[in-house]
Structure 1
């Protein structure tokens, strides 16, 4: 297959149409499968819970891998259609913008509702500055998870890389919590997500460098709270000059974030996305990466 052509078609789909319906979205399928096992499995002991969680992750990843190789067994032109569909399903550029844009409102309850749709923390008691911070943090973190990382693994391993990464990221989002229910059951998924995001999270920071090199490096050195997720957040905080914090977890210095700063963050987002898309397209055009050529 022509990797560049498939990627461009997938990108056009994303920008013009957004996400496929949930009923036929592979990422939703990954979540449904993980959720089904999670709801059926009764917690027993740390050791058994860990093994059950690992088995769940392996099953979801195997499902993602089988989906990803199906285009290679399909006749022309169905193979191209499936490849475009699956690549598009692995990244989400337009929908991320739309989710963040909904948080730009002066109505505190509407803002709280919109932010609750994009973060896992309890937003009921958050004031407006912390809600604005949560919105910008989510944008920065998901720039890595939903754009940079899936395309990074697409460049390295083609369709299997993109969909398997997305499966792992979905597993982490559903099971990777430090609480009684998921401490052991979700540990394997959380650690695997850490491993897969180690390079992309730092690559995302590098993509911010043209927007403020010195300050980004200074903020990056402050990002010692999480293995990966706080690195892109630190870069966004540096570029915007606003305080981004998750109380009790991390805090990057700056002035109090306002609605206008969410708008500025979206502009930064599109600059970084454009930079990354150009890099991906050039690498595909020069056939430096294997992608769909196997």
Structure 2
């Protein structure tokens, strides 16, 4: 497991070098192109749900086979693949950019948060911008850091690549829209399954580093009320740990959706200070994961 610890440190130190990904496509981009090709090719005609199931099975098989092949090239290749597919440094940078933007102006904050969330940002006030950034921090720590580490530990590079492929597919086609509801069903359900344990592990880690493990019952209750079966766990832990109210009403494509608040008794007037507290929690949570990787190195 020293491979994992080195890869985590490499990602945290370098993130995603712009000079490299300006010259060659990032693996996530290649995954996205493959999924887009499959969607355009197979999301037609009858039995779209079945077609979507077949696509996800095919993508998973291809990703797992590629992972097994790459694993044969030795630890250096393994370290590089893991580091590229982790997102700690880039996540922290994007969330911190929202705090920095808000300190300049509301418009700068809105533009920064629009880079990491899918909701409408044009009419957000400062608190709504901060909430969106903190929610993204919590959810993407689970999806972009904890879950990839979890599946690598369980199943090596095949597990990691399968997870990333499914997670990318869910982000592209896992929506309840007329176009994707049937075809993207398998992507959404597969992603829910693969994130089931990592999301709860993320909540445990965040609750621990933020000193709110005693509130685990409240975290579990609020997570169960969330619109997502998994995203509510890290979000509820972060909300409790920072004593802020997250989620709540927001707009998508001009339509307002009245989602309930997570930790409704928490502070609602928030800004850059709370965003930076979330960034600090991300780094402390990452340190817990790194320590776990080192311990595994010593005992396995």
Shared fold (TM-score, shorter chain, > 0.5): yes
Q: CA deviation at 1:235?
A: 0.3
Q: CA deviation at 1:233?
A: 0.1
Q: CA deviation at 1:271?
A: 1.1
Q: Aligned pairs, how many? A: 278
Q: CA deviation at 1:208?
A: 2.5
In structure 1, the residue matched to 2:255 is none
After TM superposition, the score normalised by the length of structure 2 is: 0.87
Alpha-carbon separation, structure 2, partners of 1:159 and 1:43: 33
Alpha-carbon separation, structure 2, partners of 1:56 and 1:122: 31
Which of 187, 190, 207 aligns to 1:189? It is 187
User: Secondary structure at the residue paired with 2:195?
Assistant: helix
In structure 1, the residue matched to 2:156 is 158
Alpha-carbon separation, structure 1, partners of 2:49 and 2:168: 18
Answer yes or no: is the 8 Å Cα contact 1:112–1:123 preserved in 2.
yes
Q: Which structure 2 residue ranges, 5 or more long, are not aligned?
A: 250-257
In structure 2, the residue matched to 1:238 is 240
In structure 2, the residue matched to 1:290 is none
In structure 2, the residue matched to 1:170 is 168
After TM superposition, the score normalised by the length of structure 1 is: 0.88
Give RMSD over aligned pairs. 1.8
Report Cα offsets for 1:143-188 as digits up to 9, x if no partner: 1111111111111111111111111111111111111111111110
Q: CA deviation at 1:216?
A: 4.2
Q: Which structure 1 residue ranges, 5 or more long, are not aligned?
A: 288-294
Answer yes or no: is the 8 Å Cα contact 1:92–1:146 preserved in 2.
yes
Q: CA deviation at 1:124?
A: 2.4
Does residue 1:275 correspond to 2:288, yes or no? Answer: yes
Alpha-carbon separation, structure 1, partners of 2:153 and 2:138: 21
Alpha-carbon separation, structure 2, partners of 1:146 and 1:243: 23
Distance 1:216 1:263, change over 3 A: farther
Q: CA deviation at 1:280?
A: 2.3
Alpha-carbon separation, structure 1, partners of 2:206 and 2:43: 44
Give the stretch that moved more between structures: 211-220 or 159-168: 211-220
In structure 2, the residue matched to 1:291 is none
Alpha-carbon separation, structure 1, partners of 2:53 and 2:119: 25
